[in-house]
Amino acid sequence: MVVPIVPLVVATALFMENTDSTILATALPTIARDLGLDPISLKLAVTSYLVSLAVFIPVSGWVADRVGSCTTFRLALAVFMIASIGCAFSSSLRQFVCWRAMQGMGGAMMVPVGRMVVIRTAPKSELVQALSFISMPALIGPMLGPPLGGLIVTYWDWRWIFLVNIPIGVLGIVLASLFIPEIREETPPLDTKGFLLLASGLGGLILGTAMLGRRIAPPEAAAASIAVGVVTLPLYWHHAKVAARPLLDTRLLGLKTFEAGIAGALFFRFGVGASAFLLPLMLQLAFGLDALSSGLITFAGALGALAVKPLARGFLFRFGFRRLLVVNGVLASAVLLANALFTPTTPHFVITLVLLVGGFLRSLQFTSLTAITYAEVQPRQVGSATGMASVGQQVSVSLGVAMGAMAVELSEWARGHAVPETSDFATAFVVVGLMSFASAMLMLRLPADAGDEISGRRLPAREVPSTPGASGGS
């Protein structure tokens, strides 16, 4: 009885964390209007959350092993709830950004620690089923988030977006106390120097980029923040090469498929992360739609992403990683570029159909990039590889949001107006779409047979049939 309840408790918490992010994107114009802010300035609220995730995810496993899995999970829920209350009662951009950063800290501990608890408590025979339980929030949360966010801000108050987390969090803490065991492991010393260098480097670079633009911060502050990142990230790179147990092992980038997967995902998520921020703003600010209508349109992308999951392996077996990542990457980027063609008179059915197709292609690309990333990773390297891939994901989405918003502001500045129009968002979609297109071009460097053992196109050497005429399996 205990085994099924643990994945359920973890899945409930992860559903709260996944849904929260997608709800916020739909609600940004309403929040900005209520707080008297420029909607584009709320890019800081999005990027601060993602930066906090990137900074604290690498240390979450160490904290759980040192403090205990149950204690860490409950602490993560408590931090997330407290920050949610802070977001709900924020009255300025500074307060909102600070509380969102604290939310990211809780989310960073919640996701990997929850997954680790399930892996350690579920019997091997039930592990696949248990992991499928906790993967559902990542699929359903983004699908329900946009319409739910639109519903809340249209008929209630935007602050309920954050307050609904409280009963879920309280229930999660109670259930975690009852059913999640307190597991501790021997831990090596924390790479404190690496943590400080990485935190200041990522935080400085991304938040500095996000601060560029009008009405947010003095140019000197943004430049100083970027300078900190530019100085400390190379220092971390050198530190990781000589440290015995670096926080993120950059030596893994010596693996061709790992390097390709990380770099490809970095550029591809630039466009996807930016579009998740830009699209609700365009639909509401430029097209004049209400939040609910916007959410009902944008959720189509998540629906398309969900539809591709059972088909991804078949596509990879048929075409192979290199061909699929190049061709599908071009198609997904073209659909992203098509967002620049939307106007207030474009039928909503057409927009929804384009987003549905885009979600399908985007999810297929992400699934393939994730798989190729681990093609050459050895079992002893999986933990380090996962941490690095997770950080890369948050960094790329953060930079995508910051650069997409910057493109809108630069287009506004060039027109001499302070209110974003359709043409400003079109410019931003072209910029981030071209950045996404670069991901497909990077995949041309992969060998033609890269990842064939994972896709089933080639059996591992130890499994190759010795009998003449035998055929390979999928």
- Predicted TM-score of the model (pTM): 0.80
Q: Does 184 reside within a domain?
A: no
Asked whether 194 and 239 are in contact (CB, 8 A), the reply is yes
Q: Does 463 reside within a domain?
A: no
Q: Which residues of 63-77 are buried (b: 16+ CB within 10 A; e: fewer)?
A: bbbebbbbbbbbbbb
User: 195 CB contacts (<8 Å, ≥6 apart)?
Assistant: 58, 59, 247
Residue 471 backbone class (left: φ over 0; alpha: ψ -120 to 50; beta: rest): beta
What's 89's DSSP letter?
A: T
Quick one: which of 340, 361, 348 has its CA closest to 274?
340
d(CA 361, CA 398): 21
Tell me: do 216 and 328 sit in the same domain.
no
pLDDT at position 350 is: 93
User: What is residue 19's three-state secondary structure?
Assistant: helix
Q: Does 262 reside within a domain?
A: yes
Asked whether 412 and 422 are in contact (CB, 8 A), the reply is no
Q: Which two tokens stand for residue 320?
A: 């192979």
pLDDT at position 66 is: 83
Quick one: which of 225, 251, 227 has its CA closest to 237?
251
pLDDT at position 360 is: 86
Tell me: do 395 and 414 sit in the same domain.
yes
Q: Does 395 reside within a domain?
A: yes
Tell me: do 123 and 140 sit in the same domain.
yes
d(CA 404, CA 395): 14
Tell me: do 211 and 163 sit in the same domain.
no
pLDDT at position 45 is: 84
Q: Does 94 reside within a domain?
A: yes
Tell me: do 154 and 225 sit in the same domain.
no
Tell me: do 372 and 239 sit in the same domain.
no
Tell me: do 99 and 203 sit in the same domain.
no
The total number of structural domains in the chain stands at 3
pLDDT at position 331 is: 92
Quick one: which of 18, 10, 22 has its CA closest to 74?
10
Using CA atoms of 189, 261, 199, 246 in order, give the dihedral in degrees to the nearest 10.
20
Query: Which residue, of 153, 179, 205, is where some domain finishes?
Result: 179
Tell me: do 92 and 199 sit in the same domain.
no
User: 298 CB contacts (<8 Å, ≥6 apart)?
Assistant: 25, 26, 146, 279, 280, 283, 355
Per-residue pLDDT of the chain (474 residues; tens, 9 = 90+): 334 677 777 777 777 777 777 788 888 888 888 888 888 888 888 888 888 888 888 888 788 878 888 888 889 999 999 999 999 998 888 889 899 999 989 888 887 677 777 766 666 556 556 655 666 666 676 777 788 888 888 888 889 988 888 888 888 888 888 887 787 777 788 888 989 998 898 888 888 888 876 667 677 788 888 899 899 999 999 998 888 888 888 888 888 878 888 888 888 888 888 888 888 889 998 888 888 888 888 888 878 777 776 777 777 777 777 888 889 889 999 999 999 999 999 999 999 999 999 888 888 888 788 777 777 777 667 667 777 887 888 888 888 888 888 888 888 877 777 677 888 889 999 998 888 888 888 887 777 776 666 666 565 544 434 333 333 333
Tell me: do 118 and 240 sit in the same domain.
no
Tell me: do 253 and 201 sit in the same domain.
no
Q: Which residues of 97-112 are buried (b: 16+ CB within 10 A; e: fewer)?
A: bbbbbbbbbbbbbbbb
Query: Which residue, of 246, 261, 287, is where some domain finishes?
Result: 246
What's 282's DSSP letter?
A: I
d(CA 221, CA 400): 20
Quick one: which of 275, 217, 226, 269 has its CA closest to 408?
275
d(CA 402, CA 207): 8
Q: In the block, which residue shows the tokens 């969090």? A: 169
Q: Does 378 reside within a domain?
A: yes
CB neighbours (10 Å) of residue 304? 24
Q: Does 434 reside within a domain?
A: yes
Tell me: do 78 and 118 sit in the same domain.
yes
CATH code of residue 323: 1.20.1250.20
Provide the residue range defining the domain that includes 228.
Answer: 192-246
Tell me: do 260 and 372 sit in the same domain.
yes
Q: Does 12 reside within a domain?
A: yes
Query: Which residue, of 246, 262, 290, is where some domain finishes?
Result: 246
User: 130 CB contacts (<8 Å, ≥6 apart)?
Assistant: 3, 4, 6, 7, 118, 122
